[in-house]
Structure 1
Amino acid sequence: MSSTALRRPTLLLLGDSLTEQGSDPNIGGWVCKLQYCYTRSADVVVRGLYGYSTEMFVRQALPKLARDVGTWSEPPALVTLWLGGNDSALLSGYEAALHVPLAQYRVNLPVNDQLRLELSGDGELDFSNAGTAVYAQACVEEAHAIGVSVLDLHTTMNALNEQERKDCQNDGLHLTTKGNALVADAILATVEREFPTLARRLNKWEHPDYLDLLAKVEK
């Protein structure tokens, strides 16, 4: 990669447990992969909040986040927002308190009903794939309506066969190493496809390769 004199861009990753756990190197977190891919070209700032619904995020986290970002020398070059899984909690399940009406959610995640049912102590589901599908579709429609790029991971996950989906989620909800790899690759591909100018910027190192520096000294 070549170096660049441009200001180092910042990538801001926002979300719930899927983003928080994406920072876990023990499971090959998708955030870790992005940080590694862009370590020479960008700063990756993460705000992953386990258990947060969109309502909690907007009420509790967003005001301070807005103040913090307002102090930056320039706005983030890319923002990812992964919220909605907790919003889609079933009203009949033990996570009902997290439920947020469909109109309030922003983004969704896939759920493996059978695996979560097997792991549930009382045999009741707190989320369902059918329930989150409604939120996922609304997310896609809302993103298109406001002209924001959207990565439909719900459809991506459900395109896999049953065993592949189980391999991607350790409890039917949170990501395994394989699931994190799938998400990271999907995000990287989306950046290349949807934001080519940014992708070129991210492919330029902030500082030269040491071999280039040695070559200059030798001359």
Structure 2
Amino acid sequence: MASNVQDVFMLFGDSITQGGWEPGLNALGQRLSHVYARKLDVLNRGFSGYNTEWAIPVFEQCFAKRADEHAPKVQVLTIWFGANDACIKPSPQHVPLSKFISNMKHLVQMVKSPTSAYYSPTTRIILITPPPVDTYQRRADLESRNPPIALDRLFATTEAYAQAVKDVAAEENVAVVDVWGTLWEAVGKEEKSLTKFLIDGLHLNEAGYQVVYDELIKTITQVYPDIHYDNLGPIFPPWAQIDWDAPLKSLYIKEHNE
């Protein structure tokens, strides 16, 4: 008997993923949980401040091994890193670009490779690029703290890490959501205009999460249409379809009756 009859939509990333359920933002996780209600359980596996180096051992504990036949199946996996890896030295969050690329490939191959203990051939993988950094807003935010903190990110550096995510997606043949490029085009390539989408020069506001949600659903529609919420039925029947005279026949799925 399965421990959970409902499959999973897992969001794996840093604070921008973790913030997907923040009250008042109508953010990514909230929106996905709404449209996938009774179809897929949307799991928040975002870890504030984490980079890919720290994410790998965490992923090994968050993602079920192939031998665990009782674990819910992860139907969709988003991997959203780069915002912290792109920190500049001497930040402990900094991961060199070459190592970041290697780590991203490793995360993908943990799921895709038939030799991996975490092999899950039915999992649809979607990489997400970090958003652009507004260094004007970010510097002001950091300098306002007590004690003040020096600027920890550069615009061009984060752009390079965003490009690396797209390159990895192409090489590994998985889908990608280009948040960096979409937001940059939306502000007319004016860095100071990124305040429209960012709270502090780094994290997304409600408008920013709206863009990410729209682009993610567009990607699912184009690349993985079978897992679009409109193409999934509810895991249990609508109440009007229950056999009222013998409800247990309707309410237990097949595997529970075997």
Q: One fold, TM greater than 0.5?
A: yes
Runs of 4+ in structure 1 displaced over 6 angstroms? none
How far 1:172 sits from its partner (Å)?
0.9
Aligned position for 1:75: 73
Q: Tell me the amino acid that sits aligned with residue 177 of structure 2.
A: L
SS in 2 for 1:97: coil
Q: What is the CA–CA distance in structure 2 between the aligned matches of 1:65 and 1:207, rounded to whole Å?
A: 26
TM-score in terms of structure 1 length: 0.83
Q: What is the CA–CA distance in structure 2 between the aligned matches of 1:174 and 1:149, rounded to whole Å?
A: 23
What whole-Å deviation, never above 9, does each CA across 1:118-152 have from its counterpart, x for those lacking one? 22214732112211011111111111001111111
Matches within 5 A, 1:160-175: 160-161=186-187, 162=190, 165-175=194-204
Q: What is the CA–CA distance in structure 2 between the aligned matches of 1:118 and 1:73, rounded to whole Å?
A: 46
Aligned position for 1:4: none
Q: Tell me the amino acid that sits aligned with residue 126 of structure 1.
A: D
Aligned position for 2:134: 112
What whole-Å deviation, never above 9, does each CA across 1:23-56 have from its counterpart, x for those lacking one? 2132112111000110121111221100000001
Q: Which runs of 5+ in 1 are unaligned?
A: 1-6, 215-219
1:146 aligns with 2:172: yes
Superposition CA RMSD, Å? 2.6
How far 1:68 sits from its partner (Å)?
6.7
Contact 2:39/2:229 (8 A) holds in 1: no
Matches within 5 A, 1:121-132: 121=143, 122=148, 124-132=150-158
How far 1:186 sits from its partner (Å)?
1.4
Aligned position for 1:159: 185
SS in 2 for 1:11: strand
Q: What is the CA–CA distance in structure 2 between the aligned matches of 1:11 and 1:103, rounded to whole Å?
A: 29
Q: Tell me the amino acid that sits aligned with residue 219 of structure 2.
A: T
Greater helix fraction, Structure 1 or Structure 2: 1
Contact 2:6/2:72 (8 A) holds in 1: no
Identity of aligned residues (%): 27
Q: Whose relative contact order is higher, 1 or 2, with alpha carbons under 8 Å and at least 6 apart?
A: 1
Aligned position for 2:39: 41
Q: What is the CA–CA distance in structure 2 between the aligned matches of 1:24 and 1:69, rounded to whole Å?
A: 32
Q: Tell me the amino acid that sits aligned with residue 197 of structure 1.
A: D
Distance change in 2, residues 1:69/1:30 (3 Å): farther
TM-score in terms of structure 2 length: 0.72
Distance change in 2, residues 1:127/1:119 (3 Å): same
Give the number of equivalent residue pairs.
206
Contact 1:151/1:190 (8 A) holds in 2: yes
Contact 1:9/1:76 (8 A) holds in 2: yes
Aligned position for 1:64: 61
Which region of structure 1 is more displaced relative to structure 2, 194-203 or 74-83?
194-203
What whole-Å deviation, never above 9, does each CA across 1:43-84 have from its counterpart, x for those lacking one? 11221100000001113x122124578634453111001111
Q: What is the CA–CA distance in structure 1 between the aligned matches of 2:216 and 2:64, rounded to whole Å?
A: 27
Alignment equivalent of 2:92, drawn from 92, 97, 100: 97
SS in 1 for 2:175: coil
